[in-house]
């Protein structure tokens, strides 16, 4: 009798419970937990979930130690704790199912996310209802004991997975030997000794093929099975089918002494598929080096240091921050590393980490975690550790705040592979049906030959190699994308929406003039302190020209997104922003003339509700803007969507192409709705912004790109970050994305060419092993060479 839970054979410990047999008390306990929580339909998914628990009393008592908890927890504030574990026993879809439904087993678990390839789980839980020790015990009881190593948590080093190298080595070794043993039969050499030993050679080829099929090629069978079980015809279905037919037909041929079979083609197919995976892995490994956090997030942080007895500030890249350094975090800036709050009032938004949007208030001495975003005035922190590359990378792609744009986007490989599978099966069935009536002896031959030769390996390699190379080239040229799918989506964009300030304008060369009543010293000091705390491009530009030696740090600071700043210090209250925000009226008591329609971009100021004046900005537009807009307007609609007034409309009309639509005085909510309206009309929209007031529009758009200067404008809502100095090359990035898709399609055509030749031999009943042995690996090699050379060729213009 087999155990109902784990499937193991029941022996001496056989237990009968609810008419079900269990091999041990652990399996019975797991069943009771699932059954009592209405989760018994778990067993309908798979009969072998985790590993039967073998818990020793007191094994996890060390998890009650607060010092150890501090090392293990990624996040710990109030009622929310986050921890990640490696769970080696994760091995199937039912494992994922039960681990992502842990909240049904205990109400203290808020959420759980499984990373199947890495066999890790990230848990968010409430320490008031569930301690870390009890959380681990729960995992152990249901058969998923985590691998907890404090050394690993200290070093944060991931082990190298060499399984692909081992599989590739086995397939390569078998491929070489099988080819060697097959040569005499290729050329039909009638030599006495070769004829005497050909049966031995054939069974040796069979022996070499066994590890190729059941070890090196097993992942394709697993992937195909999971796809079919989910009702999806993925690219691995025809590959698995081809491997199976190759193996079965070849075995039948040598067993019945009909021929040598296709063991050489079989081993060659698996070898070149794995070689493609290996090159792809190397490509992305190299890519991750080029796109590490030093470049991936071109953000800086303000470090405070003392020089010649004076406190100074400098902008440096985040990776240069050391433990103990003092840094400044402004409103809307991301905290890049764990730190202690030294000075200022912190109001931290941890929604990027926990998914909870309610900001939390912190006071001096409190610990702040990486990933939080300051929502208020300027704060001073002391770094507790260096910035963590893996954490920032994880933050950008975290499902907590990033909606899956790919859910409505079907990439080329998925589209082609589904049609390819249907086509191959149809051709195999129709051609074999024809031969049944014409020459029944060839029907089975034809059916299997079609499945053998119609290999989709070239299709499987085309997109990963092409997009991987393009992603790497983009990274070298300061466009950093989340993933390769963004390239395909960029190629489909037909509408590009630009923010104005900080996006198409540069802050470095803006000329600023003040018009109005002269500000008092107290007002100037508070104005400097307020602007110092803001991250808006206009605030940063204005702060750069003001006196920085006499600064009043605001006692309260509120930044109203899309409107302005409101700050107080003692009895003085300043409003800095739009005319409506500072309550500017057409009749100003102070006698300062007021214009009904502003003629330029301006920042207005009022003190204690009395209008004082405005700073007017004479915008300097980015180099190459006119040429970029002309280039993009040839096949895309261009729109300028700005939160500023329309004072620059006439000047912009002289720069941008005729017909470019411009909308001004747009609040963040208006921008978001504008993007939605475009998408409802069937438009594919790219939003290009500065990442500050455009987060909603960036997330809503099909592709969101942030233009990055030397300040911390990292936005997890975006799909890519473009260095400001490469802004003028945005059109080239568009062109290269389109050309990359053409390269993939050409690769598909090249693959189709090989398949048509092979199918010609197969359908006619004349497929010889030597033909399959040549065509199958040749198609894979040529695709890899073709995509590599073509991506280098089409990117020449970008590199100039």
Q: Is 509's pLDDT higher than 60?
A: no
Compute the distance between CA of residue 206 and CA of residue 184 in angstroms, rounded to an integer: 16
Long-range contacts formed by 25-30: CB under 8 A, 24+ apart: 26/52, 26/53, 26/54, 26/55, 26/141, 26/143, 27/3, 27/52, 27/143, 29/53, 29/141, 30/5, 30/141, 30/142, 30/143
DSSP 34-63: HHHTT-GGGGGT-S--S----PPTTTTGGG
Cα 324–chain centre separation: 32
pLDDT of residue 515: 85
pLDDT of residue 314: 80
Give me 649's structure tokens: 């409309």
pLDDT of residue 211: 94
CB atoms within 10 A of CB 271: 25
Strand-pairing partners, residue 573, are: 568
**Which of the listed ranges 198-202, 349-353, 558-562 does the model predict with the highest average pLDDT?**
198-202
Compute the distance between CA of residue 516 and CA of residue 680 in angstroms, rounded to an integer: 45
The torsion of the CA quartet 481, 486, 491, 494, rounded to 10 degrees, works out to -100
Higher-confidence residue of 423 and 59: namely 423
Q: What percent of the chain has pLDDT over 70?
A: 73
Which of 17-21, 196-200, 532-536, 747-751 shows the lowest per-residue confidence on average (mean pLDDT)?
17-21
**Which of the listed ranges 284-293, 497-506, 755-764 does the model predict with the highest average pLDDT?**
497-506
How, if at all, do strands 73-77 and 310-317 pair?
A: unpaired
Q: Is 478's pLDDT higher than 50?
A: yes
Please tell me the total number of residues recorded for the chain in this structure: 800
Compute the distance between CA of residue 319 and CA of residue 321 in angstroms, rounded to an integer: 5
Detail the DSSP E strand segments found in 457-571: 479-481, 495-498, 505-516, 556-560, 564-569
Whose structure tokens read 């190729």?
212
Q: Is 411's pLDDT higher than 60?
A: no
Q: pLDDT digit string (tens) for 622-635?
A: 888 999 999 999 98
The domains located in the chain, with CATH, are 163-289+408-457+775-795 (no CATH), 295-397 (2.70.150.10), 467-504+622-737 (3.40.50.1000), 507-620 (3.40.1110.10)
| Chain mean pLDDT for the chain | 77
177: three-class secondary structure by DSSP: helix
Per-residue pLDDT band at 78 (split at 50, 70, 90)? confident
Phi (first) and psi of residue 219, to 5 degrees: -65, -30
Strand-pairing partners, residue 307, are: 310
Q: Is 212's pLDDT higher than 70?
A: yes
Which of 137-141, 422-426, 696-700, 765-769 shows the lowest per-residue confidence on average (mean pLDDT)?
765-769
Burial degree of 640 (CB within 10 A; 0-12, 13-18, 19+): buried
pLDDT of residue 737: 92
pLDDT of residue 569: 87
pLDDT of residue 56: 59
pLDDT of residue 410: 47
Per-residue pLDDT band at 116 (split at 50, 70, 90)? low
Q: Is 716's pLDDT higher than 50?
A: yes
Q: Is 425's pLDDT higher than 50?
A: yes
pLDDT of residue 39: 59
Compute the distance between CA of residue 322 and CA of residue 67 in angstroms, rounded to an integer: 22
29-39 average pLDDT score: 64
């Amino acid at each position: 009798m087999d155990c109902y839970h784990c499937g193991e054979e029941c022996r001496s410990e056989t237990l009968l419970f609810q008419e079900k047999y269990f091999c041990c008390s652990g399996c019975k306990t797991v069943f009771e937990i699932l059954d009592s929580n209405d989760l018994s339909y778990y067993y309908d998914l798979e009969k072998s979930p985790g590993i039967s628990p073998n818990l020793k009393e007191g094994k996890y008592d060390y998890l009650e130690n607060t010092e150890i908890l501090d090392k293990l927890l990624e996040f710990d504030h109030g009622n929310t704790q986050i921890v990640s574990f490696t769970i080696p026993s994760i091995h199937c879809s039912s494992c994922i199912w039960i681990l992502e439904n842990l909240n049904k087993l205990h109400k203290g678990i808020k959420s759980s996310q499984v990373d199947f390839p890495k066999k890790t789980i990230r848990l968010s839980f409430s320490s008031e209802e569930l301690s870390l020790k009890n959380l681990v015990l729960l995992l152990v009881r249901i058969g998923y004991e985590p691998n907890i190593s404090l050394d690993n948590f200290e070093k944060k080093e991931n082990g190298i997975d060499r399984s692909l190298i081992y599989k590739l080595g086995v397939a390569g070794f078998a491929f070489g030997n099988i080819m060697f043993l097959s040569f005499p039969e290729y050329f039909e050499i009638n030599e006495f000794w070769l004829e005497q030993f050909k049966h031995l050679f054939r069974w040796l080829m069979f022996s070499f093929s066994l590890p190729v099929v059941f070890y090196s090629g097993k992942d394709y069978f697993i992937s195909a099975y999971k796809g079919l079980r989910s009702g999806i015809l993925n690219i691995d279905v025809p590959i698995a089918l081809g491997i199976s037919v190759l193996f079965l037909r070849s075995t039948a041929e040598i067993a019945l002494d009909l021929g040598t079979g296709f063991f050489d083609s079989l081993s060659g197919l698996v070898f070149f598929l794995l070689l493609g995976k290996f090159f792809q892995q190397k490509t992305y490994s190299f890519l991750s080096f080029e796109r590490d956090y030093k470049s991936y997030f071109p953000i800086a942080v303000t470090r405070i240091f003392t020089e010649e007895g004076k406190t100074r500030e400098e902008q440096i890249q985040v990776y240069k921050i050391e433990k103990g350094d003092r840094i400044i975090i402004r409103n809307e800036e991301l905290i890049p590393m764990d730190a202690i709050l030294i000075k200022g009032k912190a109001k931290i938004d941890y929604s990027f980490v926990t998914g909870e949007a309610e900001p939390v208030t912190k006071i001096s001495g409190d610990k702040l975690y990486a990933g939080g975003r300051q929502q208020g005035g300027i704060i001073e922190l002391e770094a507790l550790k260096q910035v963590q590359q893996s954490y920032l990378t994880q933050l950008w792609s975290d499902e907590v705040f990033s909606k899956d744009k790919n859910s409505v986007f079907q990439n080329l490989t998925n589209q082609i592979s589904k049609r390819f599978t249907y086509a191959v099966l149809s051709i195999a069935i129709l051609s074999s049906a024809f031969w049944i009536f014409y020459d029944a002896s060839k029907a089975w031959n034809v059916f299997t030959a079609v499945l053998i030769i119609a290999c989709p390996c070239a299709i499987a390699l085309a997109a990963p190699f092409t997009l991987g190379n393009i992603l790497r080239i983009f990274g070298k040229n300061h466009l950093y994308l989340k993933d390769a799918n963004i390239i395909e989506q960029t190629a489909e964009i037909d509408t590009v929406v630009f923010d104005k300030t900080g996006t198409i304008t540069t802050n470095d060369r803006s000329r600023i003039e003040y018009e109005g009543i002269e500000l008092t010293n107290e007002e100037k000091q508070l104005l400097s302190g307020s602007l110092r705390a803001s991250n808006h491009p206009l605030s940063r530009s204005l702060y750069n020209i003001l006196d920085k030696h006499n600064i009043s740090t605001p006692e309260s600071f509120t930044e109203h997104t899309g409107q302005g700043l409101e700050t107080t210090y003692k009895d003085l209250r300043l409003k800095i922003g739009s005319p409506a925000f500072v309550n500017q009226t057409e009749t100003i008591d102070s006698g300062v003339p007021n214009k009904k329609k502003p003629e330029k971009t301006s920042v207005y100021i009022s003190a204690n509700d009395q209008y004082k004046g405005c700073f007017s900005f004479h915008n300097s537009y980015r180099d190459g803007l006119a040429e970029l807009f002309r280039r993009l307007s040839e096949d895309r609609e261009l729109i300028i969507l700005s939160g500023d007034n329309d004072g620059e409309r006439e000047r912009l009309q002289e720069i941008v192409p005729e017909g470019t639509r411009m909308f001004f005085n747009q609040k963040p909510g208006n921008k978001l709705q504008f993007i939605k309206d475009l998408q409802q009309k069937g438009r594919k929209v790219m939003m290009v912004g500065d990442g500050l007031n455009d987060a909603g529009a960036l997330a809503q758009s099909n592709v969101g790109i942030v233009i990055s200067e030397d300040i911390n404008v990292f936005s997890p809502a975006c799909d890519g970050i473009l260095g400001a100095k490469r802004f003028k090359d945005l059109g080239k990035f568009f062109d290269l994305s389109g050309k990359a898709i053409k390269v993939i399609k050409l690769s598909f055509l090249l693959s189709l060419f090989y398949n048509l030749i092979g199918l010609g031999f197969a359908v006619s009943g004349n497929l010889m092993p030597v033909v399959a042995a040549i065509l199958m690996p040749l198609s894979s090699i040529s695709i890899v060479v073709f995509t590599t050379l073509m991506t280098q060729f089409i990117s020449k213009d970008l590199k100039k």
